């Protein structure tokens, strides 16, 4: 059985508070995009994870797919599975690829073994694997707060625009990005700001990780500048970086950026 685990971008990201558990409260809008990993599960003698495509740092035994399988196996009598992961989503890019793999594996196991888990039950399993993992269960645009796993509805639709994603050759660790940040509360919620017309996002929406990540990696800031120079209506880093997305009115080609970065068109 197969699943196509897609990536996400963050439309605005405010880190508002450090929590007693070491995590941070945030406000963001998660938006699914069309860059996919492919996950296949087949019955096998023992449970293994084979990875093809892009390299993932660390060994296959540490892969979040195996963690998701073991988590469900604690509660259900699951037979051993061979998990094959074709990795296309850039890693350490702020695209939530690992979290998506885990969430889609939970959904795949739920379907294959008729576990009859509800969406909230699957979200409960997912949030044990990563803060942004639960979003990928429903996988629709949402406003998220708390650790990034409390959701409410939001109306955002970019389907009439061309969205481009640029992945510089830099890997940013999420934990490092959070450790460099100074939480603050601006007073206006992103839930309000996201309702502004798209042309006003540039001067009103922010990703709080940009200031510290751009200081360390000026090449990521340069990508954002170039995207605005090319006519983007809005451009921002996704999550804790390193990828940068841009929203354009019309189709674009960006050969200058293709020289040093991976560029995905019409995501």
Ligand X SMILES: C[C@@](CO)(OP(=O)(O)O)[C@H](O)COP(=O)(O)OP(=O)(O)OC[C@H]1O[C@@H](n2ccc(N)nc2=O)[C@H](O)[C@@H]1O
Ligand Y SMILES: Nc1ncnc2c1ncn2[C@@H]1O[C@H](COP(=O)(O)OP(=O)(O)O)[C@@H](O)[C@H]1O
- Phi and psi dihedrals of 146, rounded to 5? 65, -140
Q: How far is CA 203 from the centre of its chain?
A: 23
Residue with Cβ nearer ligand Y (94 or 141): 94
- Phi and psi dihedrals of 154, rounded to 5? -145, 150
Cβ 96 to ligand Y, closest distance in Å? 4
Secondary structure class of 164 (helix, strand, coil): strand
Catalytic residue list: 8, 132
Contact call for residues 7 and 97 (beta carbons, < 8 A):
yes
Contact call for residues 191 and 27 (beta carbons, < 8 A):
yes
Asked if 95 interacts with ligand Y (CB under 6 A), we say: yes
Q: Which of 12, 92, 141, 148 binds ligand Y (CB under 6 A)?
A: 92
**What is the Cα–Cα distance from 265 to 157, expressed in whole angstroms?**
17
Residue with Cβ nearer ligand X (90 or 110): 90
Asked if 65 interacts with ligand Y (CB under 6 A), we say: yes
Q: Which of 10, 63, 88, 110 binds ligand Y (CB under 6 A)?
A: 63
Residue with Cβ nearer ligand Y (129 or 193): 129
Q: Which of 38, 86, 91, 115 binds ligand Y (CB under 6 A)?
A: 91
Read out DSSP for 110-152?
Answer: HHHTT----HHHHHHHHHTT-TTTTHHHH-S-EEEETTTTEEE
Asked if 227 interacts with ligand Y (CB under 6 A), we say: no
**What is the Cα–Cα distance from 112 to 79, expressed in whole angstroms?**
11
Asked if 99 interacts with ligand Y (CB under 6 A), we say: yes
Cβ 137 to ligand Y, closest distance in Å? 16
Binding site for ligand X (CB under 6 A): 10, 13, 23-24, 26, 28, 94-96, 99, 130-133, 147-148, 174-175, 178, 239-240
Cβ 221 to ligand X, closest distance in Å? 17
Q: What angle do CA 173, 184, 212 make, to 5 degrees?
A: 35
Binding segment toward ligand Y, per CB under 6 A, in 20-28, 94-102, 112-120, 248-256: 94-102
**What is the Cα–Cα distance from 113 to 215, expressed in whole angstroms?**
48
Asked if 96 interacts with ligand Y (CB under 6 A), we say: yes
Asked if 97 interacts with ligand Y (CB under 6 A), we say: yes
Kindly list the residues in this chain that would bind ligand Y in the complex (CB under 6 A).
Answer: 56-58, 63-65, 85, 91-99, 101, 174, 239
């Amino acid at each position: 059985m197969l699943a196509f685990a897609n990536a996400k971008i963050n439309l605005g990201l405010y880190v508002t508070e450090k929590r007693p558990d070491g995590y941070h409260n945030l406000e963001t809008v998660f938006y699914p995009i069309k860059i996919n990993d492919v996950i296949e599960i087949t019955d096998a003698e023992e449970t293994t994870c084979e990875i093809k495509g892009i390299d993932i740092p660390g060994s296959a035994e540490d892969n979040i797919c195996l963690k998701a399988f073991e988590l469900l196996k604690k509660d259900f009598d699951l037979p051993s599975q061979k998990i094959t992961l074709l990795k296309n989503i850039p890693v350490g890019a702020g695209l939530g690829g690992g979290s998506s793999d885990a969430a889609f594996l939970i959904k795949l196991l739920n379907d294959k073994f008729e576990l009859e888990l509800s969406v909230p039950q699957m979200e409960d399993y997912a949030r044990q694997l990563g803060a942004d993992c639960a979003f990928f269960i429903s996988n629709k645009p949402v406003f998220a707060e708390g650790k990034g796993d409390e959701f409410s509805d939001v109306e955002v639709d970019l389907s009439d625009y061309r969205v481009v994603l640029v992945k510089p050759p830099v890997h940013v660790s999420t934990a490092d990005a959070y450790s460099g940040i100074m939480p603050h509360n601006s007073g206006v919620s992103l839930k309000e700001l996201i309702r502004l017309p798209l042309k006003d996002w540039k001067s009103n929406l922010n990703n709080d990780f940009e200031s510290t990540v751009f200081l360390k990696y000026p090449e990521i800031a340069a990508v954002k500048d170039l995207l605005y120079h090319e006519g983007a209506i809005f451009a921002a880093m996704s999550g804790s970086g390193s990828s940068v997305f841009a929203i354009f009115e019309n189709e674009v080609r960006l050969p200058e950026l293709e020289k040093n970065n991976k560029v995905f068109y019409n995501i």
